[in-house]
Structure 1
Amino acid sequence: MPKKILVIGAGSWGTTLSKLLAEKKLDVTLWVRELELLEKLQKTNRNEYYLPQILLPTNIKYTNDLSLAKQADIIVLVTPSHVVREICKQLAKIGVNNKIIVSCAKGLEEGTFCRMTEIIAQELPENKIAALSGPNHAENVSEKQPTATVIACADEQVARKLQRIFSTTYFRPYTNTDVIGVELAGAFKNIIALASGVLAGLGFGDNTLAGLMTRGLAEISRLGIALGAQAHTFAGLAGVGDLIATCVSKHSRNRWAGEQLGKGRSLEDILQETKMVVEGVRATQIAYKLAQVHKIDMPITSKLYEVLYEKKKARTAIKELMKRDHTKEEQFVEII
């Protein structure tokens, strides 16, 4: 077992992973960006901003000093995707080498379209890098509800080491060497989750949601495969598993944001209201551009892009999807 673990990011997921690791009696430090939240955590052992209902173990240490990364054996990076490069640049200045870095962010970088592990590798090349992703709502894991996840790493020994470290009686990691697929599935499912919320906000029911999820999985799989992912990853926990959880859960910030859109609220107002990052908004724009570059048919993503960025009415977008030219349903084996 590692001597020291630094978790960077004190949102609900970073807090939950710190709790999980600390309960295994590991030496865990949680890095907190906001000084006000840091003080509250140190005084109360409770994250009042993101996970107020959970009392945290007293053996978690809290810090705002990123230089402690130099002493850590494992760094768990749990920040929004758009700040990953910024954090990695700070870690590079500190001099972080020969560590295991676990990326828990689900998204792609605007402009470069880089996956999170690609960003980490560019900025911190002298480290082993893995990705943790799956149907893992922090609220459920913090309450010790049985949960499965995926740890992806090109180095199987590193993946198995992390599997042992994160494994508990309620949190079961599976290993996978398809880092590309695991990361892309985790990023692109947020698009379909956002769309699922729009349907809920408009008052549509189970039939509509089932159709969206099934056809959504088909199109994000097509794009993922074009970008180098293995098809079977989209049929696993990081793909369909995470898709289901994010599309139907009350804890999904992407579904919530979509539901507000469906009810007629503006995107600007929605994003201002929530403290958490709605990754599906950025992911939709990126996937839309990638689909054009790689000539991948992504009708749901394209219509959601028009709703988000071109002010198209959601009901109009749905009608246009339903009136598309008729075709056969490709089987998943044909997609793969």
Structure 2
Amino acid sequence: MVESQQTMGEKIAVVGGGSWATALIKILTENQVKVKWWMRDAEAVAHIRKYRHNPHYLSSVELHPSKVKPYLQLREALKGVDWVILAVPSAFIEDALKDADPSWFEGKKVISGVKGIISSTSQLVTDWFAEKFAVDPQHLGAIAGPCHAEEIALEKYSYITIASASEDTAKEFAKLLTCRFVKTSYLTDLHGVEYAAVMKNIVAMSCGIVHGVGAGDNFQAVMVSNAIIEIQRFLDTVVPLERKVNVSAYLGDLLVTSYSQFSRNRTFGNMIGRGYSVQAAKVELKMIAEGYYATNCIQRINEQYKVDLPIVKFAYDVLYNKEKPLKAFEELKGKFV
């Protein structure tokens, strides 16, 4: 647990204009910080300046102009800040940062709020960022844990874990996200936490698919129970490290994403299970389901490691091999204990 510090003077840039970016800004402004918020939507920036809320996402969250200033120019948003938070869906992050220069991030600590993977390279976000922008790996971290943006907007009590290879970086940033409705902790299993977040999206999407074809709560409970074993099996092979996956950064995030009404991955999967095409589900959801892209990436990564991943294979067969969801479900049923 990290105690809240209300007198902090750090300056933070948040990159991204969606619901998670808005929720993170709400948390940050509970403390004495200055937030420079970059987004690409000129109309949204103008709206925030005039009406003090995001017009498209979590519009109930009031944004205080003394603490939050929106920007259209990324370079300007990054000037003079101590921390940079990435809150852009993984499918868009390369495009969002395509014009950025490594010098813009010099001396800054960068925290990924992206619970996804870079689809073009199958890289974890922190690895991709370190390679592209030459940021010291000790200055990189990731946000983990069961924490839906919609509940943050409602100030529902939540738990967040900050992971970094540097304990100091993790601990420092955890303090910034500690407030009256958020409890934080930290750990040093950065890559394990990132992979777990990627895989829980695949599991949640798969839960939606099987629900869409008629499976009930009993089967989903068995599926999620087996999923944490599958995730641990993958982590122990790809990122060998002593870890406890039954804590909130791993299991908690898996559970909330698999069961919550706010889970876009579960919702997306449910559409697929009910017969929607991938394209139709994307259009109706109107938000990114990270699990769709993650499925292809984890499948590709696992070609090297050959870990037994029945849930990943199930999702891949349905989404990319175009296997009928009901047929894939019948095959999946025999894989669990």
TM-score (norm 2): 0.91
Which of residues 63, 70, 81 is equivalent to 2:71?
63
1:21 aligns with 2:28: yes
Question: 1:25 and 1:73, CA in 2 relative to 1: closer, same or farther beyond 3 A?
Answer: same
SS in 2 for 1:53: coil
Q: Does 1:97 align with 2:124?
A: no
Give the 5 Å matches for 1:15-54: 15-54=22-61
Q: Which residue of 2 aligns with 1:332?
A: none
2 CA distance for matches of 1:83 and 1:213? 29
Counterpart position of 2:169: 158
1:52 is displaced (CA, Å) by 2.4
Opposite residue 159 of structure 1, the aligned amino acid is: A
Paired with 2:244 and 2:98, the residues of 1 have a C-alpha distance of: 30
- The letter of the residue matching 1:120 is F
Contact 1:88 1:123 in 2 (8 A): no
- Normalised to the residue count of structure 1, the TM-score between the two structures is 0.91
| Greater Cα shift, 181-190 or 95-104 | 95-104
Aligned mates of 2:133, 2:117 — CA distance in 1: 17
User: 1:198 matched to which residue of 2?
Assistant: 209
Partner of 2:223: 212
Q: Please identify, of 8-17 and 33-42, the stretch whose mean Cα deviation from structure 2 is larger.
A: 33-42
Cα distance in 2 for partners of 1:323, 1:143 equals 41
Q: Which runs of 5+ in 1 are unaligned?
A: 330-336
AA at the equivalent of 1:75? V
Matched-pair contact (CA < 8 Å) for 2:102–2:134: no
| CA contact 1:19–1:57 (8 Å) conserved in 2 | no
Q: Distance in 1 between matches of 2:104 and 2:189?
A: 28
Q: CA RMSD, aligned part only?
A: 1.8
Structure 2 residues without counterparts, runs of 5 or longer: 1-7
Select which of 300, 303, 319 maps to 1:292.
303
CA, structure 1 residues 306+253, in 2 after alignment: closer, same or farther (shift >3 Å)?
A: same
1:1-336 matches, within 5 Å, as 1-59=8-66, 60-68=68-76, 69-92=78-101, 95-127=104-136, 128-230=139-241, 232-323=243-334
Instruction: Give the fraction of aligned pairs with identical amino acids, expressed as a percent.
Output: 31
Q: Would you say the 8 A contact 1:84–1:119 is kept in 2?
A: no
CA deviation after TM superposition for structure 1 residue 198, in Å: 1.3
Structure of greater relative contact order (alpha carbons < 8 Å, 6+ residues apart): 2
Q: Which AA in structure 2 matches 1:110? A: S
Number of aligned residue pairs: give it.
Answer: 326
| TM-aligned CA deviation for residue 116 of structure 1 | 0.7
SS in 1 for 2:123: coil
Deviating more after overlay: 251-260 vs 16-25:
16-25
User: 1:185 is matched by which residue type in structure 2?
Assistant: A
